[in-house]
């Protein structure tokens, strides 16, 4: 738009903040409780009683002298003593939001106090073994920060069929403890029998701890609510559990690549320890304590 120097109407009347009156530049003002303001459009005069988020935006509630309360969008378009102001979130609320953000950043995904800028500790002789890649990736996502600080390495066993041999090959002893996490460790299962045989190895009880969780696969240790379910589906016998889960979710499940992609999607829903079932949490925490206690 081109404006003549003799244009009696001046510049574009729609430019700038059309809600603010032409009484000088608007200044920011925290909407603290009790602050009396006038809303320009309606002329409503009232004291701030609260600020809240509603419908994706922040609104300020103003109470007039008759006790009536009306809500307005937080922002420009208000007057205080005839001067234009832009109402902002109260200082206390902003400080609380900042404190909450700081508190969240001060915790790891496992809920431990975060140690910022810490250098990973040299690896201990002690280790934690898990069954497979998915177990290792889940442990890394939730407990990775803690494990690096403690110098604990997590390794994959590729199954537990040879657990006794795996433990013997590790050669546990003083300063070299081994914690083992086993899937589907419930009475009467193949896994329970294998673990019982491993626990019977002579002279290893002090240096080896084998714990597990009851879930068919570590996928099931993720709370089903993260996937929009009340509970994990029951997969019929004779059907591969992971393939059955993918089918129930409507995800591709024809190839191993499909299964890998499905796990990445499930793992992506995990933010902190609160997204996992308590049984898994208890076992992993106990194993970490076992391999890091001073006696180890």
Q: Answer whether residue 229 is part of any domain.
A: no
Q: Answer whether residue 104 is part of any domain.
A: no
Residue predicted with more confidence, 112 or 226: 226
Q: Are residues 161 and 276 both part of a single domain?
A: yes
Q: Are residues 61 and 139 both part of a single domain?
A: no
Q: Are residues 276 and 144 both part of a single domain?
A: yes
pLDDT class of 112 with cuts at 50, 70, 90: low
Question: Region 206-235: what's the mean pLDDT?
Answer: 92
pLDDT at 43: 92
Q: Answer whether residue 249 is part of any domain.
A: no
Question: Region 38-66: what's the mean pLDDT?
Answer: 88
Q: Are residues 216 and 74 both part of a single domain?
A: no
pLDDT at 237: 86
pLDDT at 141: 93
Q: Are residues 142 and 34 both part of a single domain?
A: no
Q: Are residues 152 and 283 both part of a single domain?
A: yes
Question: At 87, which CATH number?
Answer: 2.30.30
Q: Are residues 180 and 56 both part of a single domain?
A: no
Give the domain extent around 91.
27-95
The length of the chain in residues reads 296
Q: Are residues 90 and 140 both part of a single domain?
A: no
Q: Are residues 155 and 274 both part of a single domain?
A: yes
Q: Are residues 65 and 147 both part of a single domain?
A: no
Q: Across all residues in the chain, what is the average pLDDT?
A: 83
Instruction: Kindly report, residue by residue over 124-179, the tens digit of the pLDDT.
Output: 899 999 999 999 999 999 999 889 888 999 999 989 999 999 999 999 999 899 99
Instruction: Kindly report, residue by residue over 244-283, the tens digit of the pLDDT.
Output: 999 988 899 999 999 999 999 999 999 999 999 999 999 9
Q: Answer whether residue 288 is part of any domain.
A: yes
Q: Answer whether residue 102 is part of any domain.
A: no
Q: Answer whether residue 176 is part of any domain.
A: yes
Question: Region 48-74: what's the mean pLDDT?
Answer: 87
| Final residue of a structural domain among 52, 80, 95 | 95
Question: At 141, which CATH number?
Answer: 3.40.50
**What total of structural domains would you count in the chain?**
2
Share of residues in the chain with pLDDT > 70 (%):
80
Q: Answer whether residue 218 is part of any domain.
A: yes
Q: Are residues 192 and 282 both part of a single domain?
A: yes
Q: Answer whether residue 49 is part of any domain.
A: yes
Q: Mention every residue, 6+ apart, whose C-beta is less than 8 A from residue 12.
A: 1, 3
Q: Are residues 196 and 79 both part of a single domain?
A: no
The answer to whether the beta carbons of residues 286 and 143 sit under 8 Å apart is: no
Q: Is the pLDDT of residue 3 over 90?
A: no
Query: Could you tell me the pTM of the whole model?
Result: 0.61
């Amino acid at each position: 738009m081109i404006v003549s120097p003799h244009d009696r109407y001046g510049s574009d009347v729609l430019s700038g903040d059309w809600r603010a009156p032409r009484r000088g530049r608007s200044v920011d003002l925290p909407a603290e409780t009790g602050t009396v303001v006038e809303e320009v459009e309606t002329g409503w005069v009232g004291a701030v009683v609260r600020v809240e988020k509603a419908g994706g935006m922040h609104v300020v509630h103003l109470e007039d002298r008759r006790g009536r309360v009306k809500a307005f969008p937080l922002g420009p378009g208000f007057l205080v003593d005839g001067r234009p102001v832009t109402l902002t979130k109260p200082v206390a609320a902003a400080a609380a939001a900042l404190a909450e953000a700081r508190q969240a950043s001060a915790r790891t995904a496992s809920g431990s106090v975060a140690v910022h800028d810490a250098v990973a500790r040299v690896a201990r002789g002690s280790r934690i073994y898990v069954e497979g890649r998915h177990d290792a990736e889940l442990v890394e996502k939730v407990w990775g920060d803690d494990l690096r600080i403690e110098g604990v390495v997590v390794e994959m066993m590729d199954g537990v069929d040879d657990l006794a041999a795996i433990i013997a090959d590790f050669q546990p002893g003083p300063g070299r403890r081994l914690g083992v996490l086993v899937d589907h460790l419930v009475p009467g299962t193949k896994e329970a029998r294998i673990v019982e045989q491993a626990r019977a190895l002579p002279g290893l009880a002090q240096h080896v701890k084998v714990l597990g969780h009851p879930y068919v696969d570590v996928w099931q240790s993720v709370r089903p609510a993260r996937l929009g379910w009340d509970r994990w589906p029951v997969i019929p016998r004779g059907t591969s559990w992971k393939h059955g889960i993918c089918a129930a979710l409507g995800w591709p499940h024809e190839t191993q690549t499909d299964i890998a992609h499905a796990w990445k999607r499930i793992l992506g829903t995990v933010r902190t320890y609160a997204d996992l079932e308590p049984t898994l949490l208890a076992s992993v925490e106990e194993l970490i304590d076992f391999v890091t206690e001073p006696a180890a």
